[in-house]
Structure 1
């Protein structure tokens, strides 16, 4: 039986063999198709969302624990910086905070409860877990004493009553003439303004303070000596001059009056 001659490559009508590349003058070669996976953005987004949700749940749990847990409930109050008030007074005033979580107690809460305590100007608070609150008081500075009936009262530079005085002799502050009735006068304000400028070593040596007018303030010192201050203007400069003059060695003739009404030209008599 006669054999059919092979069909020439490249003739029209030829059928390519699957898996081979046919071309003129090229030998057949095999090929492989790779299947690349699609993008994984959806998986990354889902994982990110799940992570964020988990973190939110954990943080929420921590916040809830800190705010509501009885472990951090206030049990002990430590009071510092008091001289015109007592620790017992402050403890009693802050009693409503007992049992409150330390994380929920603010400086404003403490100030509100101490609002009726005249000597207290400001407070600082610090929590000491698990159950202690440290309250540091900033009290107003008393500058003088006034007579109120048969008693004596400490006042600050604004004329505010701070505390009663059990024994006048125990307080090294000047007595302002006129008592509490004079507290609203211009002369009273001028005197307290002067006293607020004095350094403590000078202030504690005064026995009284008076004024015939706002321009004639007079301070009495121990040893029957006086300081003629004049007006309250330039009080800072006058205070420095007085402090320097009092620190000078005593001369042969004792000085009875220090006149600093003009601080550039102080006079002694």
Structure 2
């Protein structure tokens, strides 16, 4: 007779209890105890299956640890995705969510915005007012007043600026007035002054004749630049020093030197001059009406030379010493070196 078969003992890992074959506990199914590192999680109910066919899954060892490691990351990701709590006004979206519309504006930004709006408003008003003034017929020129003219007549000047009548004052430019007066040779320069609502004042700087330029039978009145301001047949009527050479002399260096000297002489000396000559720009000589002459030299130190010459011409005659002949009056005044003048 065969010997009875002994029950087989299955050795498990540490932590797993041994259960003899054939024995069962009070539960409907025996489940082998596992390591503390392994968790037993039952499967969810599968639809359309009988309760008896319910299955359980035993996770692999280490699965719980992987789950523990991944869950914090999921929580962190969820924390980032969660909307931040804010007091900003929100608007409900169509799907039930919320969308942030705007954050409250800081006080300094609100003040800066208000200042910018105010400045823009003021600039717009000023632009509108200036635009209306530029084209308003209320500010149209009705009267033109001239100041400073002596040689040219009022009628000639009024005729030259006739195109400015009825033109708005803000549109009139100084360059435009100078261009209109360019046809009047006596006018050297001009400046304007607006007097609303309808008056324009033009300040005239005239050219001053400094010499008579002999040109054949005529005598031309010329200024320092050689501009011809008029003509005469009688040189005595102009009371100006005479320069010979005709119109060909205008623009030459000697002519420029002579006219520069004559333009800087005081009227007290200029009225005594008979003529002016120059062999070169550095050798200008003046002849007085009483026969005396002046060696002027070049065009340097003009004011100082004029002061020294005036003092020499107005100095009293020296008195004769007893027993000696009377001194001869000076006929030549050399002021080419004004700090060391010479008379002879």
Tell me which interval the TM-score lies in, with the shorter structure as reference length.
Answer: 0.7 to 0.9
**1:83 aligns with one of 147, 150, 165:** 150
**1:158 aligns with one of 225, 234, 237:** 225
What value does the CA root-mean-square deviation take over the aligned residues? 3.2
Instruction: Please give the alpha-carbon distance, in whole angstroms, between the structure 2 residues aligned to 1:53 and 1:233.
Output: 58
Q: Does the CA-based 8 Å contact 2:143-2:200 persist in structure 1?
A: yes
Name the structure 1 match of 2:48.
none
CA radius of gyration, larger in: 2
Name the structure 2 match of 1:113.
180
Give the deviation of 1:200 after TM superposition: 2.6
Q: Does the CA-based 8 Å contact 2:189-2:205 persist in structure 1?
A: yes
Name the structure 1 match of 2:194.
127
- Is 1:221 aligned to 2:288, yes or no? yes
Instruction: Please give the alpha-carbon distance, in whole angstroms, between the structure 2 residues aligned to 1:237 and 1:129.
Output: 46
Moved more, 214-223 or 71-80: 214-223
Distance 1:211 1:111, change over 3 A: same
Instruction: Please give the alpha-carbon distance, in whole angstroms, between the structure 2 residues aligned to 1:47 and 1:189.
Output: 65
Q: Note the 1:40-51 alignment, pairs <5 A.
A: none
- Is 1:262 aligned to 2:329, yes or no? no
**1:65 aligns with one of 132, 148, 155:** 132
Name the structure 2 match of 1:95.
162
Give the deviation of 1:109 after TM superposition: 1.0
Task: Name which structure has the greater RCO, CA cutoff 8 Å, separation 6+.
Answer: 1
Instruction: Please give the alpha-carbon distance, in whole angstroms, between the structure 1 residues aligned to 2:110 and 2:246.
Output: 83
Name the structure 2 match of 1:141.
208
Distance 1:52 1:213, change over 3 A: closer
Give the deviation of 1:54 after TM superposition: 5.3
Instruction: Please give the alpha-carbon distance, in whole angstroms, between the structure 1 residues aligned to 2:340 and 2:275.
Output: 24
Q: Does the CA-based 8 Å contact 2:217-2:233 persist in structure 1?
A: no
Q: 1:166-213, CA deviations, whole angstroms, 9 ceiling, x for partnerless residues?
A: 753332321112232222333222212322332232122212111344
Q: Does the CA-based 8 Å contact 2:142-2:166 persist in structure 1?
A: yes
- Is 1:190 aligned to 2:257, yes or no? yes
Distance 1:234 1:129, change over 3 A: closer
Aligned pairs, how many? 235
SS in 2 for 1:173: coil
Q: Does the CA-based 8 Å contact 1:158-1:189 persist in structure 2?
A: yes
SS in 2 for 1:61: helix
Instruction: Please give the alpha-carbon distance, in whole angstroms, between the structure 1 residues aligned to 2:120 and 2:261.
Output: 64
Q: TM-score, normalised by structure 2?
A: 0.59
Q: Which runs of 5+ in 1 are unaligned?
A: 1-36
SS in 2 for 1:207: strand
Instruction: Please give the alpha-carbon distance, in whole angstroms, between the structure 1 residues aligned to 2:292 and 2:180.
Output: 45
